[in-house]
Amino acid sequence: MIRKEFNAIVIGGGPAGLAAALSLRNNGIDNILLTEREDALGGILLQCIHNGFGLHRFKEELTGPEYAERYIDLVNETNISTMVNTCAVDIIDNGDSKTVILMSEKEGLVQAEAKVVILAMGCRERNRGNIAIPGSRPAGVMTAGLAQKLVNRFGYMPGREIVVLGSGDIGLIMARRMTWEGARVKAVVELQSYPGGLNRNIVQCLNDFNIPLYLSHTVTNIKGNSRITEVDIAPIDEYREPLKKEQFTLKCDSLLLSVGLIPENELSLKIGVELDKVTSGPLVDDNLMTNIPGVFACGNVLHVHDLVDYVSEESEICGKAASKYIMNLLEKAEEIPVKPGNLVRYVLPSKAETGKENLISLRSMAPAENVTLYVKSGDEILYKKKHRKVFPSEMQRIPLKKLPENCSQLDVYFE
Protein backbone atom coordinates (compact mmCIF):
# COMPACT_ATOMS: atom_id res chain seq x y z
CA MET A 1 0.00 0.00 0.00
CA ILE A 2 1.29 3.46 -0.95
CA ARG A 3 1.35 5.99 1.90
CA LYS A 4 1.08 9.74 1.35
CA GLU A 5 0.79 12.77 3.62
CA PHE A 6 -1.13 15.97 2.99
CA ASN A 7 -2.33 19.00 4.90
CA ALA A 8 -5.88 18.57 3.56
CA ILE A 9 -7.81 16.02 1.54
CA VAL A 10 -10.96 16.99 -0.38
CA ILE A 11 -13.15 14.04 -1.35
CA GLY A 12 -15.17 14.79 -4.48
CA GLY A 13 -14.09 16.75 -7.55
CA GLY A 14 -17.42 18.35 -8.42
CA PRO A 15 -18.29 22.03 -7.92
CA ALA A 16 -18.09 21.76 -4.11
CA GLY A 17 -14.74 19.99 -4.04
CA LEU A 18 -13.20 22.29 -6.66
CA ALA A 19 -14.25 25.45 -4.78
CA ALA A 20 -13.20 24.05 -1.40
CA ALA A 21 -9.74 23.01 -2.66
CA LEU A 22 -9.17 26.42 -4.25
CA SER A 23 -10.31 28.14 -1.07
CA LEU A 24 -7.81 26.10 0.97
CA ARG A 25 -5.03 27.14 -1.42
CA ASN A 26 -6.11 30.79 -1.51
CA ASN A 27 -6.08 30.89 2.29
CA GLY A 28 -2.47 29.79 2.64
CA ILE A 29 -2.64 25.99 2.63
CA ASP A 30 -0.46 23.90 0.32
CA ASN A 31 0.00 20.14 -0.11
CA ILE A 32 -3.71 19.57 -0.87
CA LEU A 33 -5.20 16.43 -2.42
CA LEU A 34 -8.43 16.55 -4.45
CA THR A 35 -9.91 13.14 -5.31
CA GLU A 36 -12.61 12.24 -7.84
CA ARG A 37 -14.08 8.80 -8.53
CA GLU A 38 -14.99 9.61 -12.17
CA ASP A 39 -12.44 9.99 -14.99
CA ALA A 40 -12.47 13.81 -14.91
CA LEU A 41 -13.05 16.68 -12.51
CA GLY A 42 -16.35 18.56 -12.75
CA GLY A 43 -18.90 16.20 -11.23
CA ILE A 44 -22.52 16.35 -12.35
CA LEU A 45 -21.85 19.63 -14.19
CA LEU A 46 -20.23 17.75 -17.06
CA GLN A 47 -23.58 16.28 -18.15
CA CYS A 48 -25.62 19.45 -17.55
CA ILE A 49 -25.24 21.00 -21.00
CA HIS A 50 -28.16 23.41 -20.52
CA ASN A 51 -27.44 27.01 -19.54
CA GLY A 52 -28.44 28.87 -16.37
CA PHE A 53 -25.23 28.42 -14.35
CA GLY A 54 -22.93 31.18 -13.13
CA LEU A 55 -25.27 34.15 -12.96
CA HIS A 56 -24.35 34.81 -9.32
CA ARG A 57 -20.68 33.77 -9.37
CA PHE A 58 -19.57 35.03 -12.79
CA LYS A 59 -22.38 37.45 -13.71
CA GLU A 60 -22.96 35.61 -16.97
CA GLU A 61 -24.98 32.61 -18.10
CA LEU A 62 -22.94 29.44 -18.60
CA THR A 63 -23.60 25.78 -19.32
CA GLY A 64 -22.62 23.20 -16.72
CA PRO A 65 -19.37 22.18 -18.48
CA GLU A 66 -18.43 25.84 -18.96
CA TYR A 67 -18.97 26.53 -15.25
CA ALA A 68 -16.89 23.49 -14.29
CA GLU A 69 -14.14 24.51 -16.73
CA ARG A 70 -13.73 27.87 -14.97
CA TYR A 71 -12.91 26.13 -11.70
CA ILE A 72 -10.88 23.30 -13.26
CA ASP A 73 -8.66 25.86 -15.00
CA LEU A 74 -8.10 27.65 -11.67
CA VAL A 75 -7.18 24.37 -9.97
CA ASN A 76 -4.76 23.50 -12.79
CA GLU A 77 -2.99 26.83 -12.23
CA THR A 78 -2.14 25.80 -8.66
CA ASN A 79 -0.07 22.99 -7.14
CA ILE A 80 -3.16 21.17 -5.85
CA SER A 81 -2.68 17.41 -6.38
CA THR A 82 -5.58 15.69 -8.12
CA MET A 83 -6.44 11.99 -8.41
CA VAL A 84 -9.25 10.98 -10.79
CA ASN A 85 -10.61 7.45 -11.18
CA THR A 86 -10.04 7.26 -7.44
CA CYS A 87 -12.63 6.11 -4.93
CA ALA A 88 -12.43 6.87 -1.21
CA VAL A 89 -13.46 3.67 0.56
CA ASP A 90 -12.86 4.53 4.21
CA ILE A 91 -11.99 7.37 6.60
CA ILE A 92 -10.39 6.79 9.99
CA ASP A 93 -10.24 9.35 12.79
CA ASN A 94 -6.83 9.35 14.50
CA GLY A 95 -7.54 12.40 16.63
CA ASP A 96 -5.13 15.05 15.36
CA SER A 97 -5.02 13.44 11.91
CA LYS A 98 -7.33 11.55 9.55
CA THR A 99 -6.58 8.55 7.35
CA VAL A 100 -8.37 8.22 4.02
CA ILE A 101 -8.13 4.87 2.23
CA LEU A 102 -8.24 5.41 -1.53
CA MET A 103 -8.60 2.92 -4.36
CA SER A 104 -6.94 4.40 -7.42
CA GLU A 105 -7.06 2.98 -10.92
CA LYS A 106 -3.54 4.30 -11.53
CA GLU A 107 -1.82 3.82 -8.14
CA GLY A 108 -3.78 1.01 -6.52
CA LEU A 109 -4.49 1.16 -2.78
CA VAL A 110 -3.37 4.44 -1.22
CA GLN A 111 -3.32 5.39 2.47
CA ALA A 112 -3.50 9.19 2.65
CA GLU A 113 -2.98 11.10 5.91
CA ALA A 114 -4.13 14.67 6.56
CA LYS A 115 -5.05 17.01 9.38
CA VAL A 116 -8.28 18.01 7.61
CA VAL A 117 -10.77 16.15 5.42
CA ILE A 118 -13.48 18.00 3.49
CA LEU A 119 -16.47 15.90 2.47
CA ALA A 120 -17.72 17.03 -0.94
CA MET A 121 -19.15 13.82 -2.38
CA GLY A 122 -22.39 15.38 -3.64
CA CYS A 123 -25.66 13.46 -3.79
CA ARG A 124 -27.30 10.62 -5.66
CA GLU A 125 -30.77 10.09 -7.08
CA ARG A 126 -33.45 8.03 -5.43
CA ASN A 127 -34.19 4.99 -7.56
CA ARG A 128 -37.08 2.59 -8.02
CA GLY A 129 -36.05 0.64 -4.93
CA ASN A 130 -36.38 3.79 -2.79
CA ILE A 131 -39.99 4.40 -3.81
CA ALA A 132 -41.24 0.80 -4.26
CA ILE A 133 -43.36 1.03 -7.41
CA PRO A 134 -45.21 -2.25 -8.01
CA GLY A 135 -45.07 -4.12 -11.29
CA SER A 136 -42.58 -6.07 -13.36
CA ARG A 137 -38.91 -5.16 -13.74
CA PRO A 138 -38.38 -4.48 -17.45
CA ALA A 139 -35.63 -2.44 -19.11
CA GLY A 140 -36.36 1.23 -19.69
CA VAL A 141 -36.85 2.28 -16.05
CA MET A 142 -34.02 4.59 -14.97
CA THR A 143 -33.26 7.78 -13.08
CA ALA A 144 -33.48 11.07 -14.95
CA GLY A 145 -29.81 11.72 -14.19
CA LEU A 146 -28.76 8.47 -15.86
CA ALA A 147 -30.83 9.38 -18.92
CA GLN A 148 -29.15 12.80 -18.92
CA LYS A 149 -25.71 11.19 -18.86
CA LEU A 150 -26.59 8.77 -21.66
CA VAL A 151 -27.92 11.52 -23.93
CA ASN A 152 -25.54 14.38 -23.16
CA ARG A 153 -22.24 12.53 -22.68
CA PHE A 154 -22.62 9.39 -24.78
CA GLY A 155 -25.16 10.42 -27.43
CA TYR A 156 -27.46 7.48 -26.64
CA MET A 157 -31.23 7.91 -26.61
CA PRO A 158 -32.79 5.76 -23.85
CA GLY A 159 -36.25 5.81 -25.46
CA ARG A 160 -38.75 7.51 -27.73
CA GLU A 161 -41.99 7.51 -25.71
CA ILE A 162 -41.28 8.90 -22.26
CA VAL A 163 -43.10 9.26 -18.95
CA VAL A 164 -41.34 11.17 -16.16
CA LEU A 165 -42.21 10.39 -12.55
CA GLY A 166 -41.43 13.32 -10.28
CA SER A 167 -41.10 16.99 -11.11
CA GLY A 168 -37.61 17.59 -9.75
CA ASP A 169 -35.40 19.90 -11.78
CA ILE A 170 -33.44 17.10 -13.50
CA GLY A 171 -36.69 15.44 -14.56
CA LEU A 172 -38.08 18.70 -15.95
CA ILE A 173 -34.87 19.47 -17.82
CA MET A 174 -34.81 15.96 -19.27
CA ALA A 175 -38.42 16.27 -20.40
CA ARG A 176 -37.31 19.21 -22.53
CA ARG A 177 -34.08 17.54 -23.62
CA MET A 178 -35.83 14.37 -24.79
CA THR A 179 -38.36 16.49 -26.68
CA TRP A 180 -35.54 18.34 -28.42
CA GLU A 181 -34.08 14.98 -29.48
CA GLY A 182 -37.36 13.94 -31.10
CA ALA A 183 -38.87 11.83 -28.32
CA ARG A 184 -42.47 12.24 -27.22
CA VAL A 185 -42.79 13.05 -23.52
CA LYS A 186 -46.32 12.01 -22.64
CA ALA A 187 -46.50 13.28 -19.09
CA VAL A 188 -44.70 14.40 -15.96
CA VAL A 189 -46.35 12.83 -12.91
CA GLU A 190 -45.94 14.38 -9.44
CA LEU A 191 -47.10 12.94 -6.11
CA GLN A 192 -47.21 16.32 -4.37
CA SER A 193 -49.88 18.93 -5.00
CA TYR A 194 -47.15 21.33 -6.19
CA PRO A 195 -44.15 20.99 -8.54
CA GLY A 196 -40.84 19.86 -7.09
CA GLY A 197 -38.61 21.92 -9.38
CA LEU A 198 -37.94 25.61 -9.86
CA ASN A 199 -40.76 27.62 -11.40
CA ARG A 200 -38.56 28.71 -14.32
CA ASN A 201 -38.07 25.04 -15.25
CA ILE A 202 -41.83 24.41 -15.13
CA VAL A 203 -42.29 27.24 -17.63
CA GLN A 204 -39.29 26.59 -19.90
CA CYS A 205 -39.34 22.78 -19.88
CA LEU A 206 -43.03 21.88 -19.69
CA ASN A 207 -45.29 24.82 -20.55
CA ASP A 208 -43.23 25.90 -23.57
CA PHE A 209 -43.54 22.36 -25.02
CA ASN A 210 -47.12 21.60 -23.95
CA ILE A 211 -46.00 18.65 -21.81
CA PRO A 212 -48.79 17.67 -19.36
CA LEU A 213 -48.04 17.89 -15.62
CA TYR A 214 -50.24 15.70 -13.40
CA LEU A 215 -50.05 16.96 -9.81
CA SER A 216 -51.29 14.75 -6.94
CA HIS A 217 -50.83 11.68 -9.16
CA THR A 218 -48.51 8.68 -9.03
CA VAL A 219 -47.49 5.64 -11.06
CA THR A 220 -49.31 2.64 -9.63
CA ASN A 221 -47.98 -0.10 -11.92
CA ILE A 222 -45.19 -0.77 -14.41
CA LYS A 223 -45.93 -3.21 -17.23
CA GLY A 224 -43.70 -4.97 -19.72
CA ASN A 225 -41.54 -8.05 -20.15
CA SER A 226 -38.11 -7.39 -21.65
CA ARG A 227 -38.96 -3.68 -22.10
CA ILE A 228 -41.44 -1.39 -20.38
CA THR A 229 -44.58 -1.01 -22.50
CA GLU A 230 -46.94 1.08 -20.35
CA VAL A 231 -47.59 2.50 -16.90
CA ASP A 232 -50.77 2.93 -14.88
CA ILE A 233 -51.27 6.38 -13.37
CA ALA A 234 -53.81 7.37 -10.73
CA PRO A 235 -54.69 10.48 -8.72
CA ILE A 236 -54.22 10.21 -4.96
CA ASP A 237 -56.49 11.16 -2.06
CA GLU A 238 -55.60 13.16 1.05
CA TYR A 239 -53.97 10.06 2.57
CA ARG A 240 -51.87 9.49 -0.58
CA GLU A 241 -53.86 6.41 -1.48
CA PRO A 242 -54.40 5.90 -5.26
CA LEU A 243 -57.94 6.43 -6.54
CA LYS A 244 -58.11 3.30 -8.69
CA LYS A 245 -61.46 4.23 -10.24
CA GLU A 246 -59.83 7.26 -11.89
CA GLN A 247 -56.73 5.37 -13.03
CA PHE A 248 -55.53 5.63 -16.63
CA THR A 249 -52.76 4.04 -18.71
CA LEU A 250 -50.01 5.60 -20.81
CA LYS A 251 -47.99 3.60 -23.32
CA CYS A 252 -44.25 4.27 -23.11
CA ASP A 253 -40.86 2.67 -23.66
CA SER A 254 -39.07 4.58 -20.88
CA LEU A 255 -39.92 5.75 -17.37
CA LEU A 256 -37.55 8.39 -15.98
CA LEU A 257 -37.48 8.80 -12.20
CA SER A 258 -36.95 12.28 -10.77
CA VAL A 259 -38.05 11.58 -7.22
CA GLY A 260 -35.48 13.33 -5.07
CA LEU A 261 -31.81 13.39 -4.19
CA ILE A 262 -29.96 11.85 -1.24
CA PRO A 263 -26.60 13.14 0.06
CA GLU A 264 -23.79 10.58 -0.40
CA ASN A 265 -22.92 9.99 3.24
CA GLU A 266 -21.75 6.38 3.52
CA LEU A 267 -18.20 7.64 4.13
CA SER A 268 -19.46 10.17 6.68
CA LEU A 269 -21.12 7.40 8.66
CA LYS A 270 -17.94 5.30 8.61
CA ILE A 271 -16.00 7.93 10.51
CA GLY A 272 -18.88 8.65 12.90
CA VAL A 273 -20.31 11.90 11.51
CA GLU A 274 -23.77 12.68 12.91
CA LEU A 275 -26.43 13.18 10.21
CA ASP A 276 -29.45 15.47 10.13
CA LYS A 277 -32.68 13.43 10.10
CA VAL A 278 -34.31 15.82 7.59
CA THR A 279 -31.53 16.60 5.10
CA SER A 280 -29.66 13.27 5.53
CA GLY A 281 -26.49 15.36 5.43
CA PRO A 282 -23.99 16.02 8.24
CA LEU A 283 -24.87 18.18 11.21
CA VAL A 284 -22.41 21.09 11.10
CA ASP A 285 -21.62 24.26 12.98
CA ASP A 286 -21.34 27.67 11.34
CA ASN A 287 -17.79 26.80 10.21
CA LEU A 288 -19.29 23.79 8.36
CA MET A 289 -17.35 21.44 10.64
CA THR A 290 -19.03 18.19 11.67
CA ASN A 291 -19.03 16.66 15.15
CA ILE A 292 -15.62 15.13 14.25
CA PRO A 293 -12.96 17.86 14.70
CA GLY A 294 -11.10 18.34 11.43
CA VAL A 295 -13.86 16.88 9.24
CA PHE A 296 -15.80 19.50 7.27
CA ALA A 297 -18.65 19.17 4.74
CA CYS A 298 -19.99 21.36 1.94
CA GLY A 299 -22.17 21.27 -1.16
CA ASN A 300 -24.86 18.71 -1.89
CA VAL A 301 -23.38 16.16 0.51
CA LEU A 302 -24.49 18.61 3.21
CA HIS A 303 -27.90 19.55 1.81
CA VAL A 304 -29.29 19.65 -1.71
CA HIS A 305 -28.88 23.11 -3.24
CA ASP A 306 -30.99 24.70 -5.95
CA LEU A 307 -28.12 26.66 -7.57
CA VAL A 308 -24.53 25.55 -8.14
CA ASP A 309 -23.45 29.16 -7.53
CA TYR A 310 -24.45 28.75 -3.88
CA VAL A 311 -22.58 25.43 -3.71
CA SER A 312 -19.40 27.26 -4.74
CA GLU A 313 -19.94 30.08 -2.26
CA GLU A 314 -20.62 27.69 0.62
CA SER A 315 -17.59 25.59 -0.29
CA GLU A 316 -15.32 28.64 -0.27
CA ILE A 317 -16.53 29.39 3.26
CA CYS A 318 -15.80 25.77 4.19
CA GLY A 319 -12.28 25.90 2.73
CA LYS A 320 -11.51 29.12 4.57
CA ALA A 321 -12.65 27.66 7.90
CA ALA A 322 -10.69 24.44 7.27
CA SER A 323 -7.59 26.54 6.53
CA LYS A 324 -7.89 28.28 9.88
CA TYR A 325 -8.28 24.90 11.57
CA ILE A 326 -5.06 23.61 9.99
CA MET A 327 -3.20 26.73 11.16
CA ASN A 328 -4.78 26.48 14.64
CA LEU A 329 -6.49 29.84 14.09
CA LEU A 330 -10.12 28.67 14.15
CA GLU A 331 -11.58 30.48 17.14
CA LYS A 332 -14.70 28.99 18.66
CA ALA A 333 -17.20 31.31 20.32
CA GLU A 334 -20.22 30.18 22.32
CA GLU A 335 -22.48 27.99 20.17
CA ILE A 336 -26.24 28.31 20.27
CA PRO A 337 -28.86 26.09 18.57
CA VAL A 338 -30.69 27.22 15.42
CA LYS A 339 -34.23 25.84 15.54
CA PRO A 340 -36.64 25.53 12.57
CA GLY A 341 -40.17 26.71 13.33
CA ASN A 342 -43.45 27.19 11.47
CA LEU A 343 -43.31 26.16 7.78
CA VAL A 344 -39.50 25.67 7.87
CA ARG A 345 -38.41 22.19 6.78
CA TYR A 346 -34.81 22.54 7.93
CA VAL A 347 -32.15 25.11 8.77
CA LEU A 348 -28.42 24.87 8.17
CA PRO A 349 -26.17 25.14 10.09
CA SER A 350 -27.84 23.69 13.17
CA LYS A 351 -25.55 25.77 15.40
CA ALA A 352 -24.47 29.42 15.26
CA GLU A 353 -21.79 31.28 17.16
CA THR A 354 -22.41 34.45 19.12
CA GLY A 355 -20.29 37.50 18.37
CA LYS A 356 -19.95 36.45 14.70
CA GLU A 357 -21.74 36.95 11.41
CA ASN A 358 -23.64 33.86 10.27
CA LEU A 359 -25.19 32.63 7.01
CA ILE A 360 -28.28 30.46 7.43
CA SER A 361 -29.86 28.38 4.65
CA LEU A 362 -33.36 26.91 4.79
CA ARG A 363 -36.25 25.54 2.77
CA SER A 364 -39.95 25.96 3.34
CA MET A 365 -42.04 22.91 4.12
CA ALA A 366 -44.72 23.73 1.51
CA PRO A 367 -45.63 26.54 -0.92
CA ALA A 368 -47.01 29.64 0.77
CA GLU A 369 -48.08 33.15 -0.17
CA ASN A 370 -47.74 36.49 1.60
CA VAL A 371 -45.55 35.29 4.47
CA THR A 372 -42.79 36.91 6.49
CA LEU A 373 -39.58 35.11 7.36
CA TYR A 374 -38.29 35.79 10.87
CA VAL A 375 -35.14 35.03 12.79
CA LYS A 376 -35.57 35.77 16.48
CA SER A 377 -33.57 35.46 19.67
CA GLY A 378 -36.21 35.47 22.36
CA ASP A 379 -38.35 38.53 21.61
CA GLU A 380 -35.61 40.29 19.66
CA ILE A 381 -36.04 40.26 15.85
CA LEU A 382 -32.67 39.73 14.17
CA TYR A 383 -33.98 39.31 10.64
CA LYS A 384 -37.31 39.97 8.92
CA LYS A 385 -38.24 39.71 5.25
CA LYS A 386 -41.60 39.62 3.49
CA HIS A 387 -42.15 37.08 0.69
CA ARG A 388 -44.98 37.19 -1.82
CA LYS A 389 -44.42 33.48 -2.53
CA VAL A 390 -42.13 30.76 -1.19
CA PHE A 391 -41.57 27.27 -2.63
CA PRO A 392 -39.80 24.20 -1.19
CA SER A 393 -37.73 24.05 -4.39
CA GLU A 394 -36.14 27.45 -3.68
CA MET A 395 -33.52 27.71 -0.95
CA GLN A 396 -33.69 30.78 1.28
CA ARG A 397 -30.41 32.29 2.48
CA ILE A 398 -30.25 34.61 5.47
CA PRO A 399 -27.12 36.70 6.14
CA LEU A 400 -27.13 37.56 9.85
CA LYS A 401 -25.11 40.39 11.31
CA LYS A 402 -22.94 39.84 14.37
CA LEU A 403 -25.04 37.91 16.85
CA PRO A 404 -25.43 39.49 20.29
CA GLU A 405 -23.43 37.82 23.06
CA ASN A 406 -26.59 37.24 25.10
CA CYS A 407 -28.27 35.05 22.44
CA SER A 408 -29.24 31.62 23.74
CA GLN A 409 -31.16 30.27 20.71
CA LEU A 410 -32.18 31.33 17.21
CA ASP A 411 -35.75 30.59 16.09
CA VAL A 412 -36.37 30.63 12.33
CA TYR A 413 -39.96 30.57 11.06
CA PHE A 414 -42.52 31.92 8.61
CA GLU A 415 -45.59 33.81 9.76
Instruction: Please check whether residues 92 and 133 belong to one and the same domain.
Output: no
pLDDT for res 207: 96
Domain that holds residue 341: 333-415
Instruction: Please check whether residues 286 and 307 belong to one and the same domain.
Output: yes
Q: Is the pLDDT of residue 128 over 80?
A: no
Residues 308-336: tens digit of each pLDDT = 999 999 999 999 999 999 999 998 788 89
| CATH number of the domain within which 54 lies | 3.50.50.60
Residues 28-78: tens digit of each pLDDT = 999 999 999 999 999 999 999 998 899 989 999 999 999 999 999 999 999
pLDDT for res 149: 95
pLDDT for res 208: 96
Q: What is the mean pLDDT of the chain?
A: 94
Res. 136 pLDDT band, cuts 50 70 90: confident
pLDDT for res 333: 80
In this structure, what are the phi and psi dihedrals at residue 219, rounded to the nearest 5 degrees? -85, 125
- Whole-prediction pTM value? 0.93
Instruction: Please check whether residues 103 and 151 belong to one and the same domain.
Output: no
State which of 259, 283, 310 marks the end of a domain.
259
Instruction: Please check whether residues 325 and 361 belong to one and the same domain.
Output: no
DSSP secondary structure string, 234-284? EEB-TTS-B-GGG-EEEE-SEEEE---EEE--HHHHHHT--B-TTT-SBP-
Name the DSSP class of 209: G
The mean pLDDT of 150-166, rounded to a whole number, is 96
Instruction: Please check whether residues 12 and 64 belong to one and the same domain.
Output: yes
> Whole-angstrom Cα distance, residue 145 to residue 150?
9
Instruction: Please check whether residues 253 and 137 belong to one and the same domain.
Output: yes
Instruction: Please check whether residues 369 and 403 belong to one and the same domain.
Output: yes
Instruction: Please check whether residues 31 and 178 belong to one and the same domain.
Output: no
Instruction: Please check whether residues 73 and 156 belong to one and the same domain.
Output: no
